[in-house]
Structure 1
Amino acid sequence: MESKQTKNQSNSLFKIILLFNVIALIFCIASQTVNVYRYAIIGAIFELFWLPIMAIIILIPFASIYYWYKDKFKVTSQFFYLLLLYDLLILTFYILT
């Protein structure tokens, strides 16, 4: 029974981290390709969310590595693929800059 709870907790953590990763990716792409200051309200929203997004970008790899460590560094672990997605986020950010 406990392994099932651990599996469910791991799956929900994966979904949460994946959601934050996708939000950060969309934010980075949008901030590099769209003029966010064209409209005042969009610029205000951008200014409001840039610091939390940067914190997410910094914390995602630590969370992914920690949970990948808990999965004993299996290549089939979901958190390994989150790290690969994070690499895509960083590459996208630097390519667009």
Structure 2
Amino acid sequence: MSEVNKLKTAKIIFILSILTAIFWCLGQFVDVYYFAVVGAIFEILWLPMIAMLFVLPIFSLVLWAKEKFNPKSLHLYSFLILLATGLFLMLRN
């Protein structure tokens, strides 16, 4: 895999990690069912977001290991964001 493709993959995973974290944090702090349309969108996105919450950390950890555990890698930060999001969701309730 070329360096450009590795960087593009890392950026995509990082952005998806941030979007997943924002989705779950907004779901905890905002009443998404106040407006019916927002609630419907939340319900549609719920299953893909929970799948990403479980799959992306594993995927980013594997890719981080392939990069020989480089501390400057975006895969590390993606993993940490998703780990913090998962812990937040477990400890919030």
Question: Partner amino acid for 1:44?
Answer: A
User: What is the CA–CA distance in structure 2 between the aligned matches of 1:16 and 1:77, rounded to whole Å?
Assistant: 13
Aligned partner of 1:66 in structure 2 is: 62
Q: Structure 1 residue 92: deviation in Å? A: 2.8
Aligned partner of 2:21 in structure 1 is: 25
Question: Partner amino acid for 2:24?
Answer: C
| Structure 1: 5+ residue stretches without partners | none
Q: Determine what percentage of the aligned residue pairs are the same residue.
A: 31
Give me the TM-score of the superposition, normalised by structure 2: 0.86
Q: Is 1:38 matched with 2:34? A: yes
Q: Is 1:84 matched with 2:84? A: no
Greater CA radius of gyration, 1 or 2? 1
Q: Paired residues, what number? A: 93
The farther-off stretch of 78-87 and 23-32 is: 78-87
